[in-house]
Structure 1
Amino acid sequence: MSTPNESSDGNLYTEANIPVNVGGKLSVFTVTIGATVPTGFEHTAAEEVGEKIEADARISKDRGRIYFQISTDKLHLVHHLKSVDNLFVIVKEFDNYQFKDSKEEAMSDLQQLASQLPWANALEVWRMNNSLKKRRGRRRGGNATKPKPAKGEDAPVPAMGEGDAVVTTTEKVQQDPDAPQGEEGEGVRGSSQEEEELEDEASKPLKFRVTCNRAGDKHSFTSNDAARDFGGAVQEFFQWKADMTKFDVEVLLNIHNSEVVIGIALTEESLHRRNITHFGPTTLRSTLAYGMLRLCKPQVSDVIIDPMCGTGAIPVEGSIEWQHSFFIAGDNNDMAVSRTVNNINHIQKKKQDGGSAPGLPVDTVQWDLCHLPMRTNSVDIIVTDMPFGKRMGSRKKNWDLYPSCLREMARVCRPGTGKAVLLTQDKKCFSKALSRMGGLWRKVHTVWVNVGGLHAGVFVLKRTASDYGTTPEDVRPPREAPEAPNNNKEEQ
């Protein structure tokens, strides 16, 4: 058992430099939680935070991030948010940090900053969060606390010599940062066995890494410079061991021009992969799928279709969150339909293993997008990720596909009340096709998003009150029979 020592910030720490609770009681205090979200969906994520946690979220100057305050007794609720990719607890924020002009002076300031930060509350939240994940892992029969680098993220780059602090950096002028994430947690009071395990872990030296994300062109240093020097100072202050892959604590250093945020990651890999096990060539992020669904505000008994479902990210997210609506996932590709079925079965098995009813309000079918096997005016909402014409389809084919599918979507969608939320990067083609459907669809607004580095648009459409078959867009004049050749020269 380690002996608590008082540090320079006036808090008690164990030898492993984890803050301890005096008297063995868990204190309740307020902390600021940061979350990365799909770029363009910051307001949607803030709305969800207000709805589920009853907290006011503010949007960062750096796109793709929101911040909100919660009391620690509500910590488990943050893992139920569906629109966030990554979660972290804030150690300290600087709205207008003044970096020195020279690289040496700027790095010296960062090194001194490490020992002056109020780490205690953030580390306590990190410990609480680990306890939540451990209990979650036990109920699943697995280990949810084994740290691992996020899949799909840039490989961590060592920035110091062997035995020194290991750092990973991401540097770009405009960025949509992601930090490692983990699984959902739930608030359940711990047993004495769990407390003993936490005490045992507290006596072991922690492993850590520093991840730096930097944006802006007025800095005299690189991301690697900042992470290396700041990471070295953190290592010296806490006497932690550096480990790039099997770390316990990930310290985040986010620099956006003059805004500096230091945090500690609460999750191990991005939540956008949470419900997908069978991936396709253009699998949509679960967080982006959820954001698109929130834009159309599904109601009880709504019939919602995804006519180009791919791997089923949209109907899977929808059927989990809005169980009083009914979802139909369809695609013309048999492999896509198979992946969707497998992803739905995976969620149903998880629900069954967790002791809840395995059923989901969703069906899957293979169909022709331009000839949907559905009655006219039978669908309330259409949400889909349309082919960009890059990895799937082609820009040339889109010029024929987009008008045809918009017309067929209008046929099955309810006039006056029906909605469509459509994602595409082929904005020129879509806008042209939509302009030809003025009698059937009206654009409400557009959300601009970053999809894998591509600038795409989420177009929110409203079905007009016009009945299908009564507008110039869907009425075709009968073809006239060709005239017989006229042999009268004078008339010719």
Structure 2
Amino acid sequence: MSSPRDEAVEPGSDTVGPSTSSSSQSDATGGSIISVTIGATVPTGFEHTAAEEVKEKIGVDARISKDRGRIYFPITTDKLYQVHLLRSVDNLFVVVEEYDHYQFKESKEETLTELQQLASKLPWTDTLEVWKLNRTLKKKKGHRKGGNAAKVKPNSDASDAVAADAEQHELPQVSSTAEDQTTVESVPDLETCEQDSQEAAPEAKVIKFRVTCNRAGDKHSFSSNEAARDFGGAVQEFFQWKADMTKFDIEVLLNIHNEEVVIGIALTEESLHRRNISHFGPTTLRSTLCYGMLRLCKPQESDIILDPMCGTGAIPLEGAIEFNSSFYIAGDNNDMAVNRTVNNICHFQKRRADKGSPSGLPIDTVRWDLCSLPIRTSSVDIIITDMPFGKRMGSKKKNWDLYPSCLREMARVCRPSSGKAVLLTQDKKCFSKAISRMGGLWRKLHTVWVNVGGLHAGVYLLKRTAAVFGQTPEDVHESRGMVEMQGDKKDDQEVS
């Protein structure tokens, strides 16, 4: 008798047009190399940066999803380990099936019934094999913590519930009103009997699972909870798995963005953005966001890179690990922040030493006043930092004095003509005003809009101009006028 997994080979329903997500081929040794599509969640705004890294390190083209913060790319299972080495991705999952234009029914009941029927028609075989292979590649760190699901007070039957927990993968929030309304409110219950599963006591270990639904769009007749509940119930019935919100083995993902539907199986136990940090602070940045900021400035060999407001040292630590041919200086005016940075560096070095790897990092830590840096003029190649938003740290009122002062000091230590700065801030109005008061010392090259803890922030790539530090705006205006006058005089001479 064939298993449900063997029977589930037909994609989708007749009303939708699925795109193929996996295939397999035999290799010369008689084994099987499976081709699948990998999905990855990335910091919003840095999708193109993540796609560039995939092309550079894995050699395949990544497709950027319509739903911000996700990319998709094909791989073969012999390259699965390389996927976990990517620095720009938060979470990874293998795609079971994806639909670009899923035709939802008009009524809620019909739509949920169709989702239930869909579970038994999906091509689960290859993706479950990839999930098994993935478990052998990574050391098992125990069960997942379960995100917000652990905070929910379930009913008596809730141990057989599936959680539509949008924050387990810490997906970026989307700014539209319609999408904000789809926030999952509670953990739904399935009409299953926990006692039956406990009394059965099978010899083989029963696989535990949960379904996470992430939904965005204003034209759906159902909620995230309802989709997770009904789809999860059908998955449970099909595979005879046991649903568990927190101590699950498999997490099935149901991602819905308007008409785009993607079903996947998670490959990461927890977000990869915490990889370097052991001592957190109130403004600790994701390592994946730090990596995106570093790639913007393209560090070169022997560059001196400065973070004058390092916080917990997330940016220079990520740089020292990934772009280790440059030298990093991390500083802050807060003793606690400097201590956290030192502790994070020591923790990472100890972890390396325990694995037998060289523990040295090209990074140093200093306590200083960021408006009066103990650094020589024009000696820094790149400045990259997370400026205070005025939310969790500082205040917007203080930023009006702080931003101009630190931008001027950054301009002093940065190399004219070649120096760059990558600055993150949510206080966009204050930042723009401060740049305009710099007398042409900085020029904006590019801006990436990102989501940081629910706040819409900007990552600004600036170039240090050739303007002489210390000039007032009037001096700059006068010098420009002299250049224009000399140019006009030269043109007149050539005409005569």
Question: Quick one: structure 1 residues 153 and 207, their matched pair in 2 at CA, closer, same or farther if it must change by over 3 Å?
Answer: closer
* 2:122 aligned to which of 106, 117, 127: 117
Question: Quick one: structure 1 residues 454 and 10, their matched pair in 2 at CA, closer, same or farther if it must change by over 3 Å?
Answer: closer
Structure 2: how far apart are the matches of 1:421 and 1:340?
20
CA contact (8 A) 1:407 1:474 kept: no
What's the CA shift for 1:175? Answer: 6.5
Scaled by the length of structure 2, the TM-score of the pair is 0.82
Identity of matched residues, %: 72
What's the CA shift for 1:244? Answer: 1.0
Question: Quick one: structure 1 residues 365 and 208, their matched pair in 2 at CA, closer, same or farther if it must change by over 3 Å?
Answer: same
CA contact (8 A) 1:36 1:85 kept: yes
Partner of 1:283: 284
Structure 1: how far apart are the matches of 2:331 and 2:126?
48
What's the CA shift for 1:217? Answer: 1.2
Partner of 1:167: 163
The worse-fitting range, judged by mean Cα deviation, of 407-416 and 432-441 is 432-441
Partner of 1:358: 359
Question: Quick one: structure 1 residues 223 and 6, their matched pair in 2 at CA, closer, same or farther if it must change by over 3 Å?
Answer: closer
Q: Deviation string for 1:385-428 (max 9, x for gaps)?
A: 00001111111111011011110000000001100000000000
1:103-114 matched pairs, under 5 angstroms: 103-114=108-119
Question: Quick one: structure 1 residues 96 and 231, their matched pair in 2 at CA, closer, same or farther if it must change by over 3 Å?
Answer: same
What's the CA shift for 1:149? Answer: 2.8
The gaps in structure 2 that reach 5 residues or longer are 11-23, 168-176, 184-201, 477-496
Question: Quick one: structure 1 residues 157 and 69, their matched pair in 2 at CA, closer, same or farther if it must change by over 3 Å?
Answer: farther
Question: Quick one: structure 1 residues 222 and 413, their matched pair in 2 at CA, closer, same or farther if it must change by over 3 Å?
Answer: same
1:188-203 matched pairs, under 5 angstroms: 203=204
Partner of 2:80: 75
The amino acid across from 1:120 in the alignment is T
CA contact (8 A) 2:4 2:238 kept: no
Structure 2: how far apart are the matches of 1:280 and 1:232?
40
CA contact (8 A) 1:60 1:66 kept: yes
1:287-302 matched pairs, under 5 angstroms: 287-302=288-303
Question: Quick one: structure 1 residues 31 and 40, their matched pair in 2 at CA, closer, same or farther if it must change by over 3 Å?
Answer: same
CA contact (8 A) 1:150 1:270 kept: no
1:443-458 matched pairs, under 5 angstroms: 443-458=444-459
The answer as to 2:63 corresponding to 1:58 is yes
Partner of 1:398: 399
Partner of 1:99: 104
Q: Deviation string for 1:56-81 (max 9, x for gaps)?
A: 01110010101111111000001111
Partner of 2:383: 382
Structure 2: how far apart are the matches of 1:438 and 1:431?
13
CA contact (8 A) 2:209 2:243 kept: yes
The gaps in structure 1 that reach 5 residues or longer are 12-19, 135-143, 179-200, 476-492
What's the CA shift for 1:281? Answer: 1.3
Partner of 1:490: none
Question: Quick one: structure 1 residues 246 and 6, their matched pair in 2 at CA, closer, same or farther if it must change by over 3 Å?
Answer: closer
* 1:132 aligned to which of 129, 137, 145: 137
CA contact (8 A) 1:254 1:260 kept: yes
The amino acid across from 1:173 in the alignment is A
CA contact (8 A) 1:9 1:118 kept: yes
Partner of 2:196: none
Q: Deviation string for 1:122-143 (max 9, x for gaps)?
A: 1111001000013xxxxxxxxx
Partner of 1:8: 7
Tell me the SS of whatever aligns to 1:7: helix
What's the CA shift for 1:454? Answer: 0.5
Structure 2: how far apart are the matches of 1:350 and 1:333?
26
CA contact (8 A) 2:9 2:125 kept: no
Structure 2: how far apart are the matches of 1:349 and 1:460?
34
Q: Deviation string for 1:169-190 (max 9, x for gaps)?
A: 4398336999xxxxxxxxxxxx
Structure 2: how far apart are the matches of 1:166 and 1:406?
50
What's the CA shift for 1:160? Answer: 9.9
Scaled by the length of structure 1, the TM-score of the pair is 0.83
Structure 2: how far apart are the matches of 1:94 and 1:305?
45
Q: Deviation string for 1:352-379 (max 9, x for gaps)?
A: 1111111000000000001000000100
1:411-490 matched pairs, under 5 angstroms: 411-470=412-471, 472=473
Question: Quick one: structure 1 residues 176 and 131, their matched pair in 2 at CA, closer, same or farther if it must change by over 3 Å?
Answer: farther
Structure 2: how far apart are the matches of 1:275 and 1:62?
28
* 2:36 aligned to which of 31, 38, 61: 31
CA contact (8 A) 1:165 1:235 kept: no
The amino acid across from 2:333 in the alignment is N
Tell me the SS of whatever aligns to 2:116: helix
The worse-fitting range, judged by mean Cα deviation, of 159-168 and 64-73 is 159-168
Structure 2: how far apart are the matches of 1:115 and 1:322?
46
The amino acid across from 1:306 in the alignment is D
CA contact (8 A) 2:4 2:239 kept: no
Partner of 1:314: 315
Structure 2: how far apart are the matches of 1:153 and 1:461?
42
Structure 2: how far apart are the matches of 1:43 and 1:357?
32
The amino acid across from 2:144 in the alignment is K
Partner of 1:484: none
CA contact (8 A) 1:375 1:412 kept: yes
Partner of 1:334: 335
Structure 1: how far apart are the matches of 2:447 and 2:25?
49
Relative to its length, the structure with more helix (as a share) is 2
Structure 2: how far apart are the matches of 1:382 and 1:305?
5
Partner of 2:142: 146
